[in-house]
Amino acid sequence: MWEARNLAIAARIRAESASHPGGKVLVLIGASHRLFIEAYLATMMDVRIVPLTQNLGGAAPPKSR
């Protein structure tokens, strides 16, 4: 079921990104799904995965105390 859920999530991300060609789509996802989703989306020629910090101008996340 876990893999089926990951495929469903990836399909929804793909559908949304396809409706915004050339645009950006911000995806917030649980850590346990991240590697699978990134690997799946990375196989698509028109998808580029960019870390959030790169989109924020390279700002580093705040340090926790």
Does 62 fall in a domain? Answer: no
pLDDT tens by residue, 1-12: 988 999 999 999
pLDDT, tens digit, for every residue of 17-63? Answer: 888 888 888 888 888 999 999 999 889 888 888 887 777 765 565 66
Task: Report yes or no on 42 lying in a domain.
Answer: yes
59 in a structural domain: no
Q: Which domain holds residue 39?
A: 2-51
Confidence at residue 49, expressed as pLDDT on a 0 to 100 scale: 87
CA dihedral 37, 39, 44, 49 (to 10 degrees): 80
Task: Tell me whether residue 29 is in a domain.
Answer: yes
Indicate the residue type of 63: K
Is the residue at 46 inside a domain?
A: yes
Residue 52 tokens read as 């959030």
Q: Which two tokens stand for residue 39?
A: 């690997």
